[in-house]
Amino acid sequence: MNDTNGNNAEIENAEAVAVALAEWWHASARDLPWRFGRATPWGVLVSEVMSQQTQMSRVLPYWNDWMERWPDAAALAGAAKSDVITAWGRLGYPRRALRLQECARVVASDYGNELPRTYDKLLALPGIGDYTASAVMSFAFGERIAVVDTNIRRVLSRVFLGVESLGGAASPAERALARQVLPQDGVSKCRRFDRSSVVWNQSVMELGAIVCAAKSPLCEACPVSSLCVFLRDGRPGLGERRTRPRQRFQGTDRQVRGLVLNALRNLPEGEIAVDRKSLERLWNDHIQLDRCIASLDEDGLIEILPNAAVRLPV
């Protein structure tokens, strides 16, 4: 069968791959608290937002604390911004925390504190893109929908096309392949699972996260090694088309922004601001420091006081 690129995609193996992955998922999936129907849809959404650009193992303690403190959208909507930014801790990209709170406010006010159950309505929420909307539809609501993230693209491209996936945004061909190989619910040979598309999405993503890694895939431990075109063909160009080279962190604005936020999060009891002198001690390059303080202010993550001290927003 041809895929939309004209490649000879061996998607006739899709059913066998689905069965192998479902068995593997059942035996080996990491036991995370937002999986296996134990979390509310809101909890699933929080886990997805936290997991973007952050490893799931790092997310776990933050998710547990967050959900205990703000178990639903209404609780998060009413929280002080400073508490939300502080609780985000070292998850990185802290704007996500404020977007999640904006999302919570809309869910609480417009949807009676329940996440809407359609892709379009989810996509319209603040901070929610295609991936998160699809993931929530699949993982939280059990709907049959192709979820497409970097890990899934890499696995599908390797297994069915025998090539590395291209960098950048998902191409129409990659989305078409994801839809083509998505199992029909209720017809999988693996009858233990009644939602085979959900298991498929989760297991392909999990395979990409812990087995079929970008640089060093563990093919010898892979449940679909006998079906993988990429392995059969000698793993051509392994790692060459990685989505992005790993960004260095040392010396970047991200590091400086993190230092400023960290100083604010760790203020002694009773203090609410970091004064200018203390800020300057955090980073020697004061031009870069000022740029980062300005961008944090622009992002709504801090407030600059008239004496040039900074504090978390209230």
Smallest distance from the beta carbon of 154 to ligand SF4, in angstroms?
8
Measured from the CB atom, the residue of 168 and 234 that comes closer to ligand SF4 is 234
With respect to ligand SF4, which residue has the nearer C-beta, 100 or 231?
A: 231
Q: Which residue has the tokens 């929080």?
A: 46
User: By C-beta, is 210 or 305 nearer to ligand SF4?
Assistant: 210
- Residue 210 beta carbon to ligand SF4: minimum distance, rounded to whole angstroms: 10
Which CB, 11 or 155, lies closer to ligand SF4?
Answer: 155
The structure tokens 């886990």 sit at 47
Alpha carbon distance 164, 172 (integer Å): 16
Residue 12 structure tokens? 């006739």
Q: Residues 63, 68, 74, 76: what is their CA dihedral angle, to the nearest 10 degrees?
A: -50
CA distance 14 to 188: 11
Cα distances from 234 to residues 43, 44, 59, 224, 240, in angstroms, run: 41, 38, 35, 15, 14
Q: Is 48 a catalytic residue?
A: yes
If the CB atoms of residues 17 and 261 are measured against ligand SF4, the closer one turns out to be 17
Q: Between 73 and 224, name the residue whose CB sits nearer to ligand SF4.
A: 224
User: 10 Å Cβ neighbour count for 91?
Assistant: 20
Set 48, 164, 174, 206: catalytic member: 48
Please, what is the minimum distance in Å from the beta carbon of residue 235 to ligand SF4? 6
Instruction: Give the whole-angstrom CA distance, residue 188 versus residue 214.
Output: 29
Whose tokens are 């989505």? That residue is 243
Least distance in angstroms from the C-beta of 230 to ligand SF4: 5
**What tokens does 296 get?**
């944090």
Gyration radius of the chain over CA positions: 22
Rounded to a whole number of angstroms, the minimum distance from the CB of residue 284 to ligand SF4 is: 44
Q: CA nearest 205: which of 62, 56, 96?
A: 56
- Distances in Å between the Cα of 133 and the Cα atoms of 61, 77, 119, 124, 175 are 23, 20, 6, 9, 15
By CB under 6 A, name the binding residues for ligand SF4: 155, 158-159, 211-212, 217-219, 222, 224-225, 228, 230-231
| Residue 209 C-alpha from the chain's centroid | 11
Whole-number minimum distance, CB 71 to ligand SF4, in Å? 37
In the bound complex, what is the minimum distance in angstroms from residue 240's beta carbon to ligand SF4? 14
CA dist 69 → 8, 76, 209, 253, 296 (Å)? 51, 8, 28, 30, 25
280 three-class SS: helix
Which residue, 29 or 305, is less far from ligand SF4 as judged by CB? 29
Q: Which residues are catalytic?
A: 48
